[in-house]
Chains A and B, each alone.
Chain A
Amino acid sequence: MTNSFALDWYFITLIFTAGLYCMLVSRNLLRQLIGLEIMSKSALLGVISAGALTGNLALAQALIITMIVIEVVIVAAGLSLLVKNYRLTNSIDIWSLDKLRG
């Protein structure tokens, strides 16, 4: 396998940027979570790329499995916050969340 570490990370950077852009411009809380997921994917790819380069594949896999578990719980928590907010305020607009200020 030809390892193209720099190229991998080039794409990882792009995916990360896409997720970040989503989180910056989107008003929709769900889209925020989607951006967040995209960024998580980029991090995951980064770990496997680094592991593959240095021959620590088993370790990288172990990390990725744990990360996926964490990711699921995080997304579940985020979505439940979203749904609860929707039930409470009937809105999923994150820009309208500005009651706390000063």
Chain B
Amino acid sequence: MNPILIPVILPLASALLLLLVSERIKHLRELLTIAVTGACFVSAVSILNQALFGTGMEFTADWAGYGLSFTLKADRLSSFLLLAVSLFSFVISVYSFSFGRKGRARWFYFNLLLTAAFSAGAALADNLAAMLFFWEGLLIFLYTFIALSQNGQPARKTAMKAFLINGVTDLCLLIGICITGYIAGTMSMTGIAANKLTLDGWAALGYALMAIGAVSKAGALPFHTWIPDAALDSSAPFMAYVPAAIDKLLGIYLLTRISVYLFALNGFAQLALMTLGALTILVAVMMAFVQNDYKRLLSYHAVSQTGYMILGIGTLNPIGIAGGLFHMINHATYKSCLFMTAGAVERQTGSNDLSKLGGLFRAMPVTAVCFIIAAAAISGIAPLNGFFSKELVYAGTLNTGYTWFFLAAELGSVLTLASFLKLGHSVFFGRRPEALAGTREAPFSMLLPMIILAGICVAFGFGARLPVTFLIEPSLQNLGLRHEEALAGFHFNKLFWVSIAVILTAVVNHLFGLAAAKGRPDKSSDHIHYAPGLKEIYAMAEKGAFDPYEQLRKFVPFAAGLLYKADRFFDYLTDTLPSSAAGVFSKASQRFHTGSYPLYMALTIAGFVFYILFTATYGGIK
């Protein structure tokens, strides 16, 4: 068997096998999943190795004809992505080993494995139709993942919300792919890339629709609203796995593919993408800043960070794109790590509410250290991976000449750091509440993945050369981009000083907030939360006034009412009116047929008199 099929087929087969495993056998499911994802990871490494130092693997099977061949192709970008996906599948399956509140284990691992299989397929697919197949498969397992992660109505509701939002955007993707494939005359990405499409006419629509599909998968504005809800209504492993890692990876991957690989974009599209990125950064981080729930806060950050990636891709210059891709893998790493700490804290204390937590550093030192590393990384503090990727994005943004976007991104950074100061302070420092007196460190199986991911954060920071050389550079080559600037390395240029200024601003802000909140760290954002003007906006945002989905849902009953009225009317026209008219006529006929002979005779006579008059007049005699 072609090794390229292993990451797709193996999880798929074992997911089905998993359903056969009896509920009573302990740990078999977990171990099986860990083994399978581990094997996938190993094969992903070998595939990457092959792609970097040999010729990329390829697998083709004729599917349905009409150019819809089922092609998996491990070029460098794809193998990079495959590696990332497999890595997260592996660490999450390890992490979930002792995590209790993840729904029924059988279905959790079933969903996990299938998500792993389908995302690997989506990463490897070279044919747009095949990619769409895997993409839609992910949609289904997104729904079941959320719906089965907790018992109860909220999980179902959120699952439906996620399903609907992604379903609609996937529909856009479908149409976009159809248009693109029709215009290009082929569904093969390699084939389209050989002859890039320009954005005019239908092609522009095709690109826009596909971009909607991509950014919505990545969770950008305005398609992000299901993520914070899922943070509350589903499990930490799910959050660490799907919205934090897989969705970002795949969404940004597709955005990169279409924006750089398949289409030659123009200035307008560049501006649109960058605007979208900057808006996503700012809006989401403003929301994140005021959250009081551990996972919900993180989830808003997951959205906000997407903005950096879109901003980076949107610059369309090699530096920016490199920054976007690098940020993608970095973000997945630290955000996954952060969600894992949230899960660990939740498991050990039973709560995610910031006001009920505090002073856990002593109780959970490893978790706290991992949190600090990851938080520092996400905030872009100097020697960690987030710093380097953000720096690349900033540099790319400055290169385009749009300084506004740079400023917006920096403001986002300030708020990111400020919110993590608030979060860390609330959870791990300060006074520990009475209720948490007996809290202990999380089990090893949960610590291990965190340590791995935190280690990657550090490694990619200090040793940024490593990922840049082996992952980012080959991907850029794969995309056909050239550049002179060195991507890795530590520069004491102005961007470094700006980052120092950002850190200082955030710290000052935090101290001010603490003072204003009388030392309550979980209320340290209140001076912004309840600032005049912002207060109302936040209140509206909390109520879902800016959530297109919620607005739609409010609109739906009204529209449904209207449609119902219209339907009743048509029903009346097609059903009631004819039948009542028929009833009236048939009643009239019943009244008429009295059995009275003279009436019948008169009718007969009238009938033949008219007939004779008519035929005598028009019958051709005259």
A and B in contact, CB less than 8 Å: yes
The answer, yes or no, to whether A87 is at the interface (CB within 8 Å) is no
Pick the contact of B594: A20, A25, A101 (CB < 8 A): A101
The answer, yes or no, to whether A102 is at the interface (CB within 8 Å) is yes
The answer, yes or no, to whether A72 is at the interface (CB within 8 Å) is no
Pick the contact of A98: B590, B594, B601, B605 (CB < 8 A): B594
- B596 close to A24 (CB less than 8 A): no
Contacts of B594 in A (CB 8 A): 98, 101
- A101 close to B593 (CB less than 8 A): yes
The answer, yes or no, to whether B492 is at the interface (CB within 8 Å) is no
The answer, yes or no, to whether B597 is at the interface (CB within 8 Å) is yes
Interface residues as binary, A2-32 with B (CB distance below 8 Å gives 1, 0 otherwise): 0000000000000000001001110000000
Interface residues as binary, B568-609 with A (CB distance below 8 Å gives 1, 0 otherwise): 000000000000000000000010011111100110010000
- B601 close to A100 (CB less than 8 A): no
- A24 close to B601 (CB less than 8 A): yes
A20-B605, A24-B605 known; A98+B598 contact, CB < 8 A: no
- A24 close to B598 (CB less than 8 A): yes
- A100 close to B602 (CB less than 8 A): no
A84-101 contacts to B, CB under 8 A, are 94-95, 97-101
Chain B residues within 8 Å of chain A by Cβ, number: 10
Contacts of B602 in A (CB 8 A): 24
Pick the contact of A95: B590, B597, B605 (CB < 8 A): B597
Contacts of A20 in B (CB 8 A): 605
A27 closest partner in B (C-beta): B598
- A23 close to B593 (CB less than 8 A): no
CA distance A94 to B515 in the complex (A): 111
B608 closest partner in A (C-beta): A20
- A97 close to B598 (CB less than 8 A): no
Pick the contact of B590: A24, A97, A102 (CB < 8 A): A102
- Number of A-B residue pairs, CB cutoff 8 Å, is 24
Kindly provide the distance from the CB of A31 to the nearest chain B CB, expressed in whole angstroms: 13
Q: What's the interface size class on A, roughly?
A: 10 to 19
CA distance A25 to B384 in the complex (A): 114
A98 closest partner in B (C-beta): B595
A56-102 contacts to B, CB under 8 A, are 94-95, 97-102
CA distance A102 to B592 in the complex (A): 8
Interface residues as binary, B601-620 with A (CB distance below 8 Å gives 1, 0 otherwise): 11001000000000000000
CA distance A24 to B601 in the complex (A): 7
Kindly provide the distance from the CB of B111 to the nearest chain A CB, expressed in whole angstroms: 67
- B595 close to A99 (CB less than 8 A): yes
CA distance A24 to B608 in the complex (A): 14
Contacts of B597 in A (CB 8 A): 94-95, 97-98
B596 closest partner in A (C-beta): A98
CA distance A99 to B596 in the complex (A): 9
Kindly provide the distance from the CB of A27 to the nearest chain B CB, expressed in whole angstroms: 8
- B605 close to A101 (CB less than 8 A): no
CA distance A75 to B602 in the complex (A): 22
Kindly provide the distance from the CB of A28 to the nearest chain B CB, expressed in whole angstroms: 12
A24 closest partner in B (C-beta): B601
CA distance A94 to B600 in the complex (A): 12
CA distance A99 to B595 in the complex (A): 7
Kindly provide the distance from the CB of B591 to the nearest chain A CB, expressed in whole angstroms: 9
CA distance A76 to B601 in the complex (A): 22
CA distance A23 to B600 in the complex (A): 11
CA distance A3 to B383 in the complex (A): 132
Contacts of A101 in B (CB 8 A): 593-595
Which of B593, B595, B602, B605 counts the most A-chain CB atoms under 10 A from its CB? Answer: B595
- A97 close to B605 (CB less than 8 A): no
CA distance A97 to B598 in the complex (A): 10
Kindly provide the distance from the CB of B221 to the nearest chain A CB, expressed in whole angstroms: 71
B609 closest partner in A (C-beta): A20
CA distance A82 to B601 in the complex (A): 18
A101 closest partner in B (C-beta): B595
Kindly provide the distance from the CB of B361 to the nearest chain A CB, expressed in whole angstroms: 93
CA distance A101 to B596 in the complex (A): 8
CA distance A7 to B345 in the complex (A): 119
CA distance A102 to B586 in the complex (A): 10
Pick the contact of B595: A23, A24, A25, A100 (CB < 8 A): A100
Kindly provide the distance from the CB of A46 to the nearest chain B CB, expressed in whole angstroms: 14
CA distance A102 to B596 in the complex (A): 11
Kindly provide the distance from the CB of B393 to the nearest chain A CB, expressed in whole angstroms: 86
Contacts of B596 in A (CB 8 A): 95, 98
Contacts of B595 in A (CB 8 A): 97-101
Kindly provide the distance from the CB of A34 to the nearest chain B CB, expressed in whole angstroms: 15
A20 closest partner in B (C-beta): B605
Kindly provide the distance from the CB of A14 to the nearest chain B CB, expressed in whole angstroms: 16
Kindly provide the distance from the CB of A79 to the nearest chain B CB, expressed in whole angstroms: 17
Kindly provide the distance from the CB of A101 to the nearest chain B CB, expressed in whole angstroms: 4
A102 closest partner in B (C-beta): B590
Which of A20, A94, A98 counts the most B-chain CB atoms under 10 A from its CB? Answer: A98
**Residue contacts A-B, CB under 8 angstroms, 9 given:** A23-B601, A24-B601, A95-B596, A95-B598, A98-B594, A99-B595, A100-B595, A101-B594, A102-B593
Nearest 9 CB-CB pairs, A to B? A98-B595, A101-B595, A94-B597, A100-B595, A101-B594, A98-B596, A102-B590, A24-B601, A101-B593
Known: A20-B605, A94-B597, A98-B596. 4 other contacts (CB 8 A): A25-B598, A95-B598, A98-B595, A98-B597
B contact residues vs A (CB 8 Å cutoff): 590, 593-598, 601-602, 605
